[in-house]
Structure 1
């Protein structure tokens, strides 16, 4: 009996240790609600695939339904309402009011918004809230407060009203009045601060989130990037931002991307802060198969589930003719990753070579070095041209990749 009691005690201790380890792992990421933006202005058949594949990952969809722009005017987004009804998840109608608008035509905006809302409800969509996305200048926050106050009075009481909030607003005493008109808000911590700073600065985003948690008396979420973008038409006057849709602008282009590991590191630090009223994360944006700047859903899932984000690269030599090879860098790892900083090929039998795209070539007597000159994200399972070379003989195993 004493022997069985001892064994039972050992088993209980082992079980407790195992459960404790598992509990710590689960506790590492709080039970944050995960939502996602659908921001495409043109809906395609790929939306059905993306929605079905993400059904277990995101509780709620935030769908761009109306845009007001100083040049384009009012644009109702023709979303696929039968598809959203079939999907069945709760929806937020997102209304984008461009920050360049000289003033808000409040009456017309509310009218257009309510008309779109009624169309969605008539189509059987489960609309639970309206989110206003407006990059208002700090000086115009009092006017924005008035707009939200009037909108709140016209919205059905069954619907929530939310806004996106900018870090630049946090030093303004007018922010509290804006937030009082809402049920919740979304702190946006990703933006093009400058080409040098990129789209996302983890330590800065952490400071913003901590500061916002001290200011907001309402529940809030943090919007995080799962995409990249291009700065196109770069000249002395600046550049235009190109995201999921090509702007077809002539001139230089610079790609800005966010590495999944950057965001994963931020999430771990954010979880450790245990910020009050922080309810969850909203991801921008739902990945479609042909959205070359968005992370793949596989990568987004790995980041959300706190899985390892190990990159793996392979250089492919594609023979053409007469000793000519096209070179491609291939991402055969489990997650998307930034292009490697350098690829080296050891060979002394090459007659000519050159780099293309994101790389430039440095040549020595025994080595070709393809050095990255512009960054980009490469999805898992995809490849990108690296360059070409003409060699009499390739050295087996003579290739190295520096992430």
Structure 2
């Protein structure tokens, strides 16, 4: 039997499909606040992130094998003023020999009580514990115990590792919590960098097939350095500088790469994926994190670009020369900058650049790598010249 469908019916079906796509809930965007010591820089960073990230996941407490318990020195007044939903993250080092259910639970409950005493109302607890697969049954029992000790209306989540996909214990582990955060960034192989978007996508799809509860992806907005140890194996240096000799190899998550992945995840979402959590809230002096401008642009799905140029500031005949980035994408320092200038009595480069001078040209050559954040500016040198053609400058990437 043959059926004939009029054009009006076809158009109605297409419009209905389009409406269904538009009505799909957008991916939630959240932030990890991972600094162990809060500083005045947090105030500006929190204000700048408020419009684009719904929830803060704040490092609250850590347990180490030898050092014991350590609390992050959080600015409670800033968090209270911020007023976004707040999840307290408890970091239990993966090298801990065992989790004492009673002792760990008591520490967590005390942190929650202390935060509440400071006027904060956490909307959840997250446990960050990099347990090996062999220890997942014990970890599951701990989570069941903790779930029973926490208020029934307080959600419990965990940070999760892709390696757990190989464990038959994973469904039971995920059933013990309300949600999970799949961490898809780490230095597993320096040759592959800090992040592999195709691998992350495969892990996310696999995770969505295992869990029947909401999960999030933890995505990188930072970099690390790799240093060799005595055997030549890489040692990771992140927020804290390590007192080690040897050449540092910098690895930085690529904003363009992460932006493409985020767009793909919005358009073709893995089952049960509820949102993205960016690691970490960048402070103005955080040398290994994206700038907040770049992070916000990636979270929004904006087109990314660096726009480098020079500024000249005159003081009694002396011109201060600075490099600026008016785009929304952090940029590497340019390799070479030239300025048309004549009649120069003196000129010099500042740290990071060297100057070569001819009769009508100043050439600044990069001596070491560095990054210029989106919206940032950096002085590169000065010159006292009879004439500087500001429109005749050129910046080579």
Q: Is the TM-score greater than 0.5?
A: yes
More divergent stretch after superposition (240-249 vs 173-182): 240-249
Q: Deviations over 1:60-82 (max 9, x none)?
A: 11111100112322102221222
Distance verdict in 2 for CA 1:250–1:124, change over 3 Å: same
Deviation at 1:186, TM superposition (A): 0.6
- Among 133, 153, 156, the alignment partner of 2:151 is 156
1:176 corresponds to which residue?
171
- Cα distance in 2, alignment partners of residues 346 and 37 from structure 1: 42
* Matched-pair contact (CA < 8 Å) for 1:224–1:283: yes
Structure 1 residue aligned with 2:8: none
Q: Secondary structure at the match of 1:48?
A: helix
Match of 2:375 in 1: 381
Q: 1:141 to 1:387 in 2, by over 3 A?
A: farther
1:222-261 deviations in Å (ceiling 9; x for gaps) = 1111122222465534343332333344432222111211
**For 1:4-403, what aligned pairs fall within 5 Å after superposition?**
27=22, 31-232=26-227, 235-314=230-309, 330-333=324-327, 335-339=328-332, 342-343=335-336, 377-383=371-377, 401=395, 403=397
**Structure 1: 5+ residue stretches without partners:** 1-19, 320-324
For 1:127, what is the secondary structure of its paired residue? coil
Shift of 1:184: 0.2
The TM-score, its normalising length taken from structure 1, stands at: 0.78
Identify the residue that residue 358 of structure 2 maps to in structure 1: none
Seen in structure 2, the aligned counterparts of structure 1 residues 82 and 101 have a Cα distance that, compared at 3 Å, is same
Output one character per residue of 1:348-390: Cα deviation in whole Å (capped at 9) or x when no partner. Answer: x9xxx99975x999xxxx998958986x54312335687999x
Q: CA RMSD in A?
A: 3.9
Q: Residues 373 and 130 of structure 1: is their aligned pair in 2 closer, same or farther, counting only changes over 3 Å? A: same
8 A Cα contact 2:294 2:330, kept in partner = no
Whole-Å Cα distance in 2 between the matches of residues 386 and 315 of structure 1? 9
Q: Distance in 2 between matches of 1:231 and 1:145?
A: 33
**Alpha-carbon spacing, 1:216–1:74, altered in 2? closer, same or farther (3 Å):** same
Distance change >3 Å, CA 185–CA 383, structure 1 → 2: same
Shift, 1:332, TM fit: 3.4
Partner of 2:123, secondary structure, is strand
TM-score, normalization: structure 2?
A: 0.79
Q: How many residues align?
A: 378
User: In terms of mean alpha carbon deviation, does 104-113 or 235-244 score higher?
Assistant: 235-244
How far off its partner does 1:342 sit? 4.5
1:229·1:255 contact (CA, 8 Å) conserved in 2? yes
Shift of 1:395: 9.8
